[in-house]
Homo-oligomer: A and B are copies of this chain.
């Protein structure tokens, strides 16, 4: 059977919470997708919001692949993350609709799902374990035979004879999203201060009634030693990504997000309007954003093994970002003390988790925490 993936079941758009003007001064430290999402929603809800970031929108959100993929990122043993991701994905269509209207420009959400393939028998066996895990949790994953696979993605290498369709996973153009968030925030009256904030005694932050920390790998420095847990346990995990651009005469790029295991190495290919993003390596090497020869070599070799026509694309950009990773892969979302709310440590899933995180932070600001993010409680390692 050949089929087109159907969209996820989307709840009706809910209006953002409105508290009216006069909720007070809110400082958001960090101008990535999480920080901007919170800032926009808080400003709409009546907060007077200032975002602090030395280079707004140019951190790991800028480098991201933009997969909204709780399912294809799902791994046995990471149930809490799967549930958080599924909950946030459910909120994405309404979030995108409101954002597009508020920004007056598209936010880059794609309607296409994900295709997963394995290069050799070992790779396919590993994928089968993930598929079984997801199916066991009631998720929609569909085995594809050779014909079905080629109907969905004609450019796949002939050696790939089977695959898996994950129709509910989505992707978003991370840079279109950043531009839309910035535009919506600007329209809602958010102020942006382009400088680094190194601690919460900072002149600009000290006067705020509430502070949201959404500073990714910079968050532990900001929070300092916590009463209960010592330093916030977030470490940088480097990810290298490439951007490939279609050229006249080259075969079309993929229409779906394509994820592959190639000799045990994971590669993803996420479509963009002018080409695609290829990612992503994972290196635990501290705060190092150097793109390595070995990283680029492996990404290109694996990407062109899976989709040979990409060899004729333009090699347009290489970059590395730092994922803010927690010990269990689950972010820290929730109140730290009377004045400070955390929205950080999202690891690989910051863009996926943005709608849920923004909703949860707004709920925290209004002192009614969201039960859906209980697994992301800041104090869970105390």
Contact = CB atoms under 8 A, between A and B. Distances in A.
Interface of A: 244, 247, 290-297, 300-301, 303-304, 310-315, 318
Given A300-B300, A301-B301, A293 B318 contact: no
A315 B300 contact: no
A24 to B, nearest CB: 46
A247 B290 contact: yes
B291 A311 contact: no
Nearest to A295: B315
A287 to B, nearest CB: 14
Contact of A291 (B297, B303, B314): B314
B297 A311 contact: yes
Given A292-B312, A293-B304, A297-B297, 6 more contacts: A247-B290, A292-B314, A295-B315, A296-B296, A297-B304, A300-B300
Contacts of A295: 315
Contact of A310 (B293, B315, B318): B293
A152 B93 CA distance: 61
A292 B318 contact: no
Contact of A313 (B292, B300, B303, B313): B292
A300 B291 CA distance: 13
A314 B290 contact: yes
Nearest to A314: B290
Nearest to A311: B294
Contacts of A311: 292-294, 297
A300 B310 CA distance: 16
Chain A, interface SS category: helix
Nearest to A308: B294
A314 B297 contact: no
A163 B291 CA distance: 31
Given A315-B318, A318-B315, A244 B293 contact: yes
Contacts of A247: 290, 292
27 contacts: A244-B293, A247-B290, A290-B314, A291-B314, A291-B315, A292-B311, A292-B312, A292-B313, A292-B314, A292-B315, A293-B303, A293-B304, A293-B310, A293-B311, A293-B313, A293-B315, A294-B304, A294-B311, A295-B315, A296-B296, A296-B300, A297-B300, A297-B311, A300-B300, A301-B301, A315-B318, A318-B318
Contacts of A300: 293, 296-297, 300
- Counting chain B CB atoms within 10 Å of each CB, the highest count among A290, A293, A300, A312 belongs to A293
Contacts of A315: 291-293, 295-296, 318
A244 B297 CA distance: 12
A313 B291 CA distance: 8
The 4 A-B pairs of least Cβ separation, nearest first, read A294-B311, A297-B300, A291-B315, A296-B315
